[in-house]
Amino acid sequence: MTWVIVALCGFILLATLLPLAKHPHWSVRAMEFPRLQLAVITAFTLLLSIFYLNLQSVAALAAISLLGCLSFQLWWILPYTPLWPVKVKKATTNADTISLITANVLQTNRQFNLLMEQVRVHQPDILVTLESDEIWEQQLDSLLDILPYSVKCPQSNLYGMHVYSRYPLDEAKCEYIVEEGVPSIHAKLRIAPHIVIQTHFLHPAPPSPTENETAIARDAELVVVAKRVINEPLPTIVTGDLNNAAWSSTTRLFRKISGLLDPRVGRGMFNTFHTQYPFAR
């Protein structure tokens, strides 16, 4: 058991300290994602060390290191739990509200009816789909009776994107900000003659061994959009699948540059990762 604890301690220290290097390689930046999982593993290992190790000298140092790692992970995580004050207050009336559903449908997924049912039950003002190809588009068009305005960028490379809206989408365009084949959609949502919202729908490529070797392209797209938002006089919404953790340094930089608020703060973690992977979703 001692060697198991030692091995876990080594892994936890490496996974905790690696993101501090801020190197763009995917193997480094990937460690920004599983902070919740790492916190659980760290807490479990800390309990093991207390019960199975004689907490003297080296063993005591290991326990202190684990406690430090756990505290560090919780420092990143806690703002995205109900234990933290909310950044974006809840509307007190329905007069000036807007609702959105953002869904990464997984291009190979063909259970179209599940999403359609959710849309008809929740009746959002905007539906944003990521990884939606032409086959998905054929199915999504069945929602035009309740969401008559749309912008469509169907692709078969896992980066297709569709936006369906209850309200007109003015100046709508599909852009390839950083990478060819990786679109984003930008439009002004006209809720009423005097109420217009600027919207940006994003899905940058993630840093991964099968996608981009580094996070440079993803980070660049987020920074470009953040700089667009700085001087935007209209209320602005940015949503999609950012392929980024809410607590990552890039997301924090995006918020700092753009001045936008994150509605997840004080509410919880709203992820778009594959729901059939219980450990990661």
Domain total for the chain?
2
> 85 in a domain, yes or no?
no
> 275 in a domain, yes or no?
no
pLDDT of residue 21: 81
> 91 in a domain, yes or no?
no
Regarding whether 238 and 133 lie in a shared domain, the answer is: yes
Regarding whether 131 and 243 lie in a shared domain, the answer is: yes
> 114 in a domain, yes or no?
yes
Regarding whether 51 and 148 lie in a shared domain, the answer is: no
Question: Mean pLDDT, to the nearest integer, of 243-262?
Answer: 90
For 234, the 3-state DSSP assignment is: coil
pLDDT of residue 100: 95
- DSSP-derived letter for residue 19 is G
Label residue 231 by pLDDT band (50, 70, 90).
confident
Find the angle CA(40)-CA(27)-CA(71) to the nearest 5 degrees.
30
Regarding whether 224 and 158 lie in a shared domain, the answer is: yes
pLDDT of residue 147: 97
Regarding whether 163 and 26 lie in a shared domain, the answer is: no
- Nearest-angstrom CA–CA distance, 217 and 276: 27
Residue type, 117: E
CB atoms closer than 10 angstroms to residue 92: 8
Domain that holds residue 179: 100-258
Give the CA distances from residue 103 to residues 18, 114, 272, 273, in Å, rounded to whole numbers and listed in that order: 30, 12, 7, 10
Q: What is the pLDDT of residues 4-63, one digit of tens each?
A: 777 888 889 999 988 888 788 888 888 888 899 999 999 998 888 877 766 666 667 778
Question: Mean pLDDT, to the nearest integer, of 262-281?
Answer: 81
Regarding whether 191 and 118 lie in a shared domain, the answer is: yes
pLDDT at 167 over 80: yes
pLDDT of residue 271: 75
Regarding whether 189 and 135 lie in a shared domain, the answer is: yes
Regarding whether 126 and 72 lie in a shared domain, the answer is: no
Going 262 to 172 to 234 to 119, the CA torsion angle's sign is negative
Regarding whether 143 and 61 lie in a shared domain, the answer is: no
Regarding whether 248 and 109 lie in a shared domain, the answer is: yes
Q: What is the pLDDT of residues 78-136, one digit of tens each?
A: 999 999 999 888 887 766 788 999 999 999 999 999 999 999 999 999 999 999 999 99
> Lowest-pLDDT range, 31-35, 207-211, 247-251, 275-279?
275-279
Regarding whether 51 and 116 lie in a shared domain, the answer is: no
> 269 in a domain, yes or no?
no
Question: For residue 202, which of 166, 259, 163 has the smallest C-alpha distance?
Answer: 163
In whole numbers, what is the pLDDT of the chain averaged over residues? 89
Give the CA distances from residue 146 to residues 113, 133, 165, in Å, rounded to whole numbers and listed in that order: 16, 21, 8
Label residue 183 by pLDDT band (50, 70, 90).
very high
pLDDT at 138 over 80: yes
Regarding whether 201 and 127 lie in a shared domain, the answer is: yes
* Domain CATH code at residue 129: 3.60.10.10
